[in-house]
Protein backbone atom coordinates (compact mmCIF):
# COMPACT_ATOMS: atom_id res chain seq x y z
CA UNK A 1 0.00 0.00 0.00
CA UNK A 2 1.20 3.51 -0.83
CA UNK A 3 -0.07 6.31 1.40
CA UNK A 4 0.58 9.98 0.62
CA UNK A 5 1.14 12.26 3.60
CA UNK A 6 1.07 16.03 3.32
CA UNK A 7 4.28 16.83 5.18
CA UNK A 8 3.38 20.52 5.18
CA UNK A 9 -0.03 20.07 6.80
CA UNK A 10 0.03 20.44 10.57
CA UNK A 11 0.30 23.67 12.52
CA UNK A 12 3.79 22.68 13.71
CA UNK A 13 4.93 21.29 10.38
CA UNK A 14 6.93 19.38 9.51
CA UNK A 15 7.95 17.75 12.81
CA UNK A 16 4.68 16.02 13.81
CA UNK A 17 4.01 15.01 10.21
CA UNK A 18 7.48 13.51 9.71
CA UNK A 19 7.55 11.80 13.11
CA UNK A 20 4.09 10.35 12.55
CA UNK A 21 5.12 9.05 9.15
CA UNK A 22 8.17 7.37 10.67
CA UNK A 23 6.04 5.68 13.34
CA UNK A 24 3.60 4.51 10.67
CA UNK A 25 6.40 3.20 8.46
CA UNK A 26 7.64 1.11 11.40
CA UNK A 27 4.18 -0.09 12.40
CA UNK A 28 3.16 -0.95 8.82
CA UNK A 29 6.46 -2.15 7.33
CA UNK A 30 4.92 -3.40 4.08
CA UNK A 31 3.65 0.05 3.14
CA UNK A 32 5.31 3.02 1.51
CA UNK A 33 4.73 6.47 2.97
CA UNK A 34 5.11 9.22 0.38
CA UNK A 35 6.00 12.55 1.98
CA UNK A 36 4.89 15.51 -0.13
CA UNK A 37 6.25 19.01 0.41
CA UNK A 38 9.41 21.06 0.19
CA UNK A 39 12.15 18.48 -0.44
CA UNK A 40 14.85 20.33 1.50
CA UNK A 41 12.65 20.85 4.57
CA UNK A 42 11.52 17.22 4.59
CA UNK A 43 15.03 15.89 4.06
CA UNK A 44 16.38 18.02 6.91
CA UNK A 45 13.61 16.80 9.24
CA UNK A 46 14.22 13.17 8.31
CA UNK A 47 17.96 13.52 8.98
CA UNK A 48 17.19 13.90 12.69
CA UNK A 49 15.79 10.36 12.84
CA UNK A 50 16.98 6.84 12.13
CA UNK A 51 15.01 5.86 9.04
CA UNK A 52 17.13 2.88 7.98
CA UNK A 53 15.01 0.26 6.26
CA UNK A 54 11.85 2.36 6.29
CA UNK A 55 9.85 2.81 3.09
CA UNK A 56 9.76 6.60 3.02
CA UNK A 57 9.71 8.57 -0.22
CA UNK A 58 9.79 12.30 -0.90
CA UNK A 59 7.86 14.05 -3.66
CA UNK A 60 8.63 17.74 -4.01
CA UNK A 61 5.92 20.40 -3.84
CA UNK A 62 7.12 23.99 -3.91
CA UNK A 63 4.06 25.67 -2.37
CA UNK A 64 2.44 25.47 1.07
CA UNK A 65 -1.22 26.14 1.80
CA UNK A 66 -1.69 28.04 5.04
CA UNK A 67 -4.68 27.67 7.36
CA UNK A 68 -5.58 31.28 6.54
CA UNK A 69 -5.69 30.69 2.77
CA UNK A 70 -9.10 30.89 1.10
CA UNK A 71 -10.15 27.52 -0.39
CA UNK A 72 -11.41 29.01 -3.66
CA UNK A 73 -8.18 30.96 -4.21
CA UNK A 74 -5.67 28.15 -3.66
CA UNK A 75 -6.97 26.13 -6.60
CA UNK A 76 -5.59 28.69 -9.02
CA UNK A 77 -2.97 30.49 -6.91
CA UNK A 78 -1.10 27.47 -5.51
CA UNK A 79 -1.23 24.71 -8.15
CA UNK A 80 2.00 23.15 -6.87
CA UNK A 81 0.95 22.94 -3.24
CA UNK A 82 1.55 19.79 -1.21
CA UNK A 83 -2.23 19.19 -1.21
CA UNK A 84 -2.49 19.49 -5.02
CA UNK A 85 0.50 17.26 -5.63
CA UNK A 86 -0.52 14.68 -3.06
CA UNK A 87 -4.10 14.37 -4.31
CA UNK A 88 -2.89 14.11 -7.91
CA UNK A 89 -0.75 11.12 -6.92
CA UNK A 90 -3.92 9.38 -5.79
CA UNK A 91 -5.81 10.48 -8.91
CA UNK A 92 -3.10 9.07 -11.19
CA UNK A 93 -3.02 5.76 -9.36
CA UNK A 94 0.53 6.32 -8.06
CA UNK A 95 -0.80 6.17 -4.49
CA UNK A 96 -3.77 4.61 -2.70
CA UNK A 97 -4.77 7.34 -0.23
CA UNK A 98 -4.04 10.91 0.85
CA UNK A 99 -3.63 12.12 4.45
CA UNK A 100 -3.31 15.73 5.59
CA UNK A 101 -3.55 17.78 8.76
CA UNK A 102 -3.81 20.90 6.65
CA UNK A 103 -6.52 23.32 5.60
CA UNK A 104 -9.81 21.37 5.47
CA UNK A 105 -11.60 23.77 3.15
CA UNK A 106 -8.67 23.85 0.73
CA UNK A 107 -8.41 20.06 0.74
CA UNK A 108 -12.12 19.76 0.02
CA UNK A 109 -12.01 22.34 -2.77
CA UNK A 110 -8.92 20.90 -4.46
CA UNK A 111 -10.07 17.30 -4.14
CA UNK A 112 -13.56 18.06 -5.45
CA UNK A 113 -12.92 20.66 -8.13
CA UNK A 114 -9.31 20.27 -9.25
CA UNK A 115 -8.22 16.70 -8.64
CA UNK A 116 -10.16 13.58 -7.65
CA UNK A 117 -13.72 14.72 -8.24
CA UNK A 118 -16.89 13.27 -6.73
CA UNK A 119 -18.13 9.75 -7.21
CA UNK A 120 -20.81 9.72 -9.91
CA UNK A 121 -24.16 10.52 -8.34
CA UNK A 122 -22.76 12.04 -5.14
CA UNK A 123 -24.26 15.51 -4.66
CA UNK A 124 -21.84 16.73 -1.98
CA UNK A 125 -18.93 15.14 -0.09
CA UNK A 126 -19.28 14.65 3.65
CA UNK A 127 -16.61 14.83 6.32
CA UNK A 128 -17.15 12.19 8.98
CA UNK A 129 -15.71 12.12 12.50
CA UNK A 130 -15.14 8.75 14.18
CA UNK A 131 -16.05 8.85 17.88
CA UNK A 132 -15.59 6.35 20.66
CA UNK A 133 -18.63 5.66 22.81
CA UNK A 134 -17.58 6.08 26.48
CA UNK A 135 -19.62 3.09 27.65
CA UNK A 136 -17.59 0.67 25.50
CA UNK A 137 -13.87 0.42 24.74
CA UNK A 138 -14.49 -1.01 21.26
CA UNK A 139 -17.70 0.79 20.24
CA UNK A 140 -17.29 3.50 17.59
CA UNK A 141 -19.76 5.73 15.80
CA UNK A 142 -19.47 8.09 12.84
CA UNK A 143 -20.86 11.63 12.85
CA UNK A 144 -21.27 13.32 9.48
CA UNK A 145 -21.17 15.93 8.09
CA UNK A 146 -18.87 17.91 10.38
CA UNK A 147 -18.14 20.83 8.08
CA UNK A 148 -17.76 19.94 4.42
CA UNK A 149 -21.31 21.03 3.54
CA UNK A 150 -22.58 23.72 5.90
CA UNK A 151 -25.94 24.35 4.18
CA UNK A 152 -27.20 20.91 3.26
CA UNK A 153 -30.35 19.95 1.39
CA UNK A 154 -32.43 16.98 2.59
CA UNK A 155 -31.46 14.91 -0.49
CA UNK A 156 -27.79 15.46 0.29
CA UNK A 157 -28.24 14.41 3.91
CA UNK A 158 -29.82 11.14 2.83
CA UNK A 159 -26.63 10.49 0.89
CA UNK A 160 -24.63 11.34 4.01
CA UNK A 161 -26.66 8.66 5.81
CA UNK A 162 -25.90 6.12 3.10
CA UNK A 163 -22.18 6.91 2.91
CA UNK A 164 -21.91 6.87 6.70
CA UNK A 165 -23.67 3.49 6.81
CA UNK A 166 -21.28 2.08 4.23
CA UNK A 167 -18.28 3.39 6.19
CA UNK A 168 -19.64 1.95 9.44
CA UNK A 169 -20.20 -1.42 7.79
CA UNK A 170 -17.05 -1.72 5.68
CA UNK A 171 -14.44 0.05 7.82
CA UNK A 172 -15.70 -0.05 11.41
CA UNK A 173 -17.23 -3.50 10.93
CA UNK A 174 -20.80 -2.87 12.12
CA UNK A 175 -23.40 -5.14 10.59
CA UNK A 176 -26.57 -3.28 9.54
CA UNK A 177 -25.57 0.00 11.26
CA UNK A 178 -28.31 2.07 12.87
CA UNK A 179 -28.71 5.58 11.48
CA UNK A 180 -29.93 8.47 13.64
CA UNK A 181 -30.76 12.01 12.54
CA UNK A 182 -29.33 14.54 14.98
CA UNK A 183 -32.15 16.76 16.23
CA UNK A 184 -33.44 18.64 19.26
CA UNK A 185 -35.90 15.88 20.11
CA UNK A 186 -36.71 12.25 19.38
CA UNK A 187 -40.22 12.98 18.10
CA UNK A 188 -40.80 13.00 14.34
CA UNK A 189 -42.19 16.53 14.64
CA UNK A 190 -38.97 18.01 16.13
CA UNK A 191 -36.32 19.87 14.16
CA UNK A 192 -36.10 22.64 11.59
CA UNK A 193 -37.53 22.23 8.10
CA UNK A 194 -34.38 20.56 6.75
CA UNK A 195 -34.52 17.96 9.54
CA UNK A 196 -38.25 17.38 9.02
CA UNK A 197 -37.80 16.87 5.27
CA UNK A 198 -34.72 14.69 5.72
CA UNK A 199 -36.60 12.56 8.24
CA UNK A 200 -39.32 11.84 5.69
CA UNK A 201 -36.81 10.90 3.01
CA UNK A 202 -34.87 8.59 5.34
CA UNK A 203 -38.07 6.78 6.30
CA UNK A 204 -38.54 5.95 2.62
CA UNK A 205 -34.97 4.68 2.11
CA UNK A 206 -34.61 0.92 2.06
CA UNK A 207 -30.81 0.95 1.96
CA UNK A 208 -30.25 2.39 5.45
CA UNK A 209 -31.40 1.21 8.87
CA UNK A 210 -32.99 4.50 9.97
CA UNK A 211 -33.98 4.56 13.66
CA UNK A 212 -35.36 8.11 13.73
CA UNK A 213 -34.30 11.35 15.35
CA UNK A 214 -31.64 11.19 18.02
CA UNK A 215 -30.66 13.76 20.65
CA UNK A 216 -27.01 14.42 21.54
CA UNK A 217 -27.18 12.54 24.84
CA UNK A 218 -28.45 9.36 23.13
CA UNK A 219 -25.90 9.79 20.37
CA UNK A 220 -23.06 9.78 22.88
CA UNK A 221 -24.50 6.69 24.55
CA UNK A 222 -24.42 4.69 21.33
CA UNK A 223 -28.08 5.05 20.39
CA UNK A 224 -27.07 4.89 16.72
CA UNK A 225 -23.97 3.89 14.78
CA UNK A 226 -24.26 6.68 12.22
CA UNK A 227 -25.28 10.20 13.27
CA UNK A 228 -26.38 12.46 10.42
CA UNK A 229 -26.39 16.27 10.48
CA UNK A 230 -25.64 19.18 8.22
CA UNK A 231 -22.10 20.53 8.31
CA UNK A 232 -22.97 23.56 10.44
CA UNK A 233 -24.55 21.60 13.31
CA UNK A 234 -22.05 18.76 12.99
CA UNK A 235 -19.06 21.08 13.17
CA UNK A 236 -20.37 22.77 16.31
CA UNK A 237 -21.16 19.37 17.85
CA UNK A 238 -17.71 17.90 17.25
CA UNK A 239 -15.89 21.03 18.44
CA UNK A 240 -18.03 21.08 21.57
CA UNK A 241 -17.14 17.46 22.30
CA UNK A 242 -13.44 18.13 21.84
CA UNK A 243 -13.61 21.20 24.08
CA UNK A 244 -15.47 19.18 26.71
CA UNK A 245 -12.63 16.68 26.94
CA UNK A 246 -9.94 19.30 27.52
CA UNK A 247 -12.19 21.21 29.94
CA UNK A 248 -12.84 18.14 32.06
CA UNK A 249 -9.11 17.39 32.18
CA UNK A 250 -8.38 20.96 33.31
CA UNK A 251 -11.07 20.82 36.00
CA UNK A 252 -9.72 17.55 37.36
CA UNK A 253 -6.19 18.98 37.56
CA UNK A 254 -7.46 22.14 39.29
CA UNK A 255 -9.54 20.23 41.83
CA UNK A 256 -6.68 17.83 42.58
CA UNK A 257 -4.57 20.75 43.77
CA UNK A 258 -7.14 22.07 46.23
CA UNK A 259 -6.12 19.87 49.18
CA UNK A 260 -3.89 16.94 50.06
CA UNK A 261 -6.70 14.37 50.11
CA UNK A 262 -7.76 15.32 46.61
CA UNK A 263 -4.16 15.20 45.40
CA UNK A 264 -3.62 11.71 46.84
CA UNK A 265 -6.91 10.55 45.34
CA UNK A 266 -5.96 11.97 41.95
CA UNK A 267 -2.60 10.19 42.05
CA UNK A 268 -4.33 6.91 42.86
CA UNK A 269 -6.81 7.49 40.04
CA UNK A 270 -4.15 8.53 37.53
CA UNK A 271 -4.20 5.23 35.55
CA UNK A 272 -7.99 5.46 35.27
CA UNK A 273 -7.78 9.11 34.19
CA UNK A 274 -5.28 8.17 31.47
CA UNK A 275 -7.61 5.46 30.17
CA UNK A 276 -10.50 7.93 30.22
CA UNK A 277 -8.52 10.53 28.31
CA UNK A 278 -7.61 7.98 25.64
CA UNK A 279 -11.32 7.38 25.16
CA UNK A 280 -11.98 11.03 24.26
CA UNK A 281 -8.60 12.02 22.80
CA UNK A 282 -9.05 12.85 19.06
CA UNK A 283 -5.47 11.78 18.35
CA UNK A 284 -6.46 8.17 19.06
CA UNK A 285 -8.57 8.25 15.89
CA UNK A 286 -6.22 10.53 13.99
CA UNK A 287 -8.35 11.84 11.17
CA UNK A 288 -11.76 12.17 9.56
CA UNK A 289 -12.67 10.51 6.25
CA UNK A 290 -13.86 12.76 3.44
CA UNK A 291 -16.54 10.59 1.86
CA UNK A 292 -17.95 10.76 -1.66
CA UNK A 293 -14.70 11.34 -3.57
CA UNK A 294 -13.00 9.13 -6.15
CA UNK A 295 -10.23 8.34 -3.72
CA UNK A 296 -9.49 7.90 -0.02
CA UNK A 297 -8.85 11.21 1.76
CA UNK A 298 -8.29 11.54 5.52
CA UNK A 299 -8.13 14.97 7.18
CA UNK A 300 -6.61 15.44 10.63
CA UNK A 301 -6.51 18.35 13.07
CA UNK A 302 -4.06 21.15 12.41
CA UNK A 303 -2.78 20.62 15.95
CA UNK A 304 -2.12 16.92 15.31
CA UNK A 305 0.86 15.38 17.07
CA UNK A 306 2.92 12.48 15.73
CA UNK A 307 0.58 9.93 17.33
CA UNK A 308 -2.41 11.50 15.58
CA UNK A 309 -0.61 11.52 12.21
CA UNK A 310 0.23 7.84 12.62
CA UNK A 311 -3.40 7.04 13.41
CA UNK A 312 -4.65 9.11 10.46
CA UNK A 313 -2.45 6.97 8.22
CA UNK A 314 -3.98 3.90 9.88
CA UNK A 315 -7.46 5.25 9.07
CA UNK A 316 -6.41 5.61 5.44
CA UNK A 317 -5.13 2.02 5.36
CA UNK A 318 -8.42 0.71 6.75
CA UNK A 319 -10.41 2.59 4.12
CA UNK A 320 -8.22 1.27 1.29
CA UNK A 321 -8.30 -2.30 2.61
CA UNK A 322 -12.09 -2.24 2.82
CA UNK A 323 -12.42 -0.93 -0.76
CA UNK A 324 -14.49 1.93 0.66
CA UNK A 325 -14.62 4.06 -2.51
CA UNK A 326 -15.98 1.18 -4.58
CA UNK A 327 -18.52 0.32 -1.87
CA UNK A 328 -19.82 3.91 -1.82
CA UNK A 329 -19.97 4.01 -5.60
CA UNK A 330 -22.02 0.80 -5.62
CA UNK A 331 -24.30 2.15 -2.88
CA UNK A 332 -24.95 5.44 -4.66
CA UNK A 333 -25.70 3.68 -7.95
CA UNK A 334 -28.20 1.43 -6.17
CA UNK A 335 -30.36 4.43 -5.16
CA UNK A 336 -29.90 6.48 -8.34
pLDDT tens digits, one per residue of 40-81: 999 999 999 999 999 999 999 999 999 999 998 999 999 999
CATH number of 129-282: 3.40.718.10
Residues of the chain with CATH 3.40.718.10: 1-122+292-336, 129-282
The CA-atom distances, in angstroms, between 107 and each of 19, 59, 111, 143, 283 are 22, 18, 6, 19, 20
Q: How far is residue 144's CA from residue 230's CA, in Å, rounded to a whole number?
A: 7
Low-confidence ranges of the chain (pLDDT < 70): 134-138, 245, 272-282
**pLDDT tens per residue across span 197-234:** 999 999 999 999 999 999 988 888 888 999 999 999 99
Which pLDDT value is given to residue 270? 73
User: Of 280, 287, 279, which Cα lies nearest the Cα of 309?
Assistant: 287
**Which parts of the chain are beta strand (E)?**
2-6, 32-37, 56-60, 97-100, 126-132, 140-144, 178-182, 209-214, 226-228, 288-291, 296-299
Q: What φ, ψ does residue 189 adopt, rounded to 5°?
A: -85, -5
Which pLDDT value is given to residue 158? 97
- Is 193 buried (19+), middle (13-18) or exposed (0-12) by CB count in 10 A? exposed
Which pLDDT value is given to residue 265? 74
Per CATH, domain 1-122+292-336 is 3.30.499.10: no
Amino acid sequence: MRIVLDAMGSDDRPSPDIEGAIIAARDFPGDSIILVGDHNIIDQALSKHNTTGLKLEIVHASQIIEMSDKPAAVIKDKPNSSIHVGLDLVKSGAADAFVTAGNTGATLAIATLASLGRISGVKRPALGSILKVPQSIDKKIILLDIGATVDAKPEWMTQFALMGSIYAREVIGINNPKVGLLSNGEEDSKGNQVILDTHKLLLEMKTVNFVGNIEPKEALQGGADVIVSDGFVGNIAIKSLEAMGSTIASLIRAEAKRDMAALVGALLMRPAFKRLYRQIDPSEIGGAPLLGLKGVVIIGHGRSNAHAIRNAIRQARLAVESKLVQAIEDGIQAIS
